[in-house]
Amino acid sequence: MIFEEQYELDKFKYLGHGKNGKVYLMPDGKVIKICKTERACREEYETLKAAQGSKYFPRVYTKIDKVIIRDYVEGEVLSSYIRKNGLSKTLARNLINLIEEFRKFDFKRLDIRGAHIYVKEDESIMVIDPASQTTWKERYPRLLLRELRRQNVSKKFYRILREERPDLYKLWKR
Please tell me the predicted confidence (pLDDT) of residue 129. Answer: 85
Q: Are residues 162 and 119 in the same domain?
A: yes
Distance CA 40, CA 67 (A): 10
128: domain range? 76-172
Please state, in angstroms and as integers, the Cα–Cα distance from residue 163 to each residue in 13, 27, 89, following that order. 43, 45, 11
Q: Is the pLDDT of residue 18 over 90?
A: no
Q: Is the pLDDT of residue 23 over 70?
A: yes
Percentage of the chain modeled with pLDDT above 90: 72
- pLDDT tier, 132 (very low <50, low <70, confident <90, very high otherwise): low
- On whether the CB atoms of residues 68 and 35 are closer than 8 A, the answer is yes
Q: Are residues 33 and 96 in the same domain?
A: no
Distance CA 86, CA 84 (A): 6
Please state, in angstroms and as integers, the Cα–Cα distance from residue 8 to each residue in 4, 16, 50, 98, following that order. 5, 17, 29, 35
Q: Are residues 44 and 11 in the same domain?
A: yes
Q: Are residues 44 and 85 in the same domain?
A: no
Total domains in the fold of the chain: 2
- pLDDT tier, 25 (very low <50, low <70, confident <90, very high otherwise): very high
Q: Are residues 65 and 81 in the same domain?
A: no
- pLDDT tier, 135 (very low <50, low <70, confident <90, very high otherwise): low
Domain boundary among 28, 45, 71: 71
Domain boundary among 44, 71, 98: 71
Q: Are residues 103 and 41 in the same domain?
A: no
Distance CA 146, CA 135 (A): 21
> Is this prediction's pTM over 0.85?
yes
Rounded to an integer, the average pLDDT of 159-171 is: 96
Neighbouring residues of 7: CB distance < 8 A, sequence distance ≥ 6: 32, 67
Please tell me the predicted confidence (pLDDT) of residue 38. Answer: 92
Q: Are residues 49 and 62 in the same domain?
A: yes
- Least confident range from 1-5, 44-48, 50-54, 73-77: namely 1-5
Domain boundary among 29, 48, 71: 71
The 3-state secondary structure of the chain reads: CCHHHHHCHHHCEEEEECCCEEEEECCCCEEEEEECCHHHHHHHHHHHHHCCCCCCCCCEEEEECCEEEEECCCCEEHHHHHHHHCCCHHHHHHHHHHHHHHHHCCCCECCCCHHHEEECCCCCEEECCCCCCCCCCECCCHHHHHHHHHCCCHHHHHHHHHHHCHHHHHHHCC
Q: Are residues 88 and 156 in the same domain?
A: yes
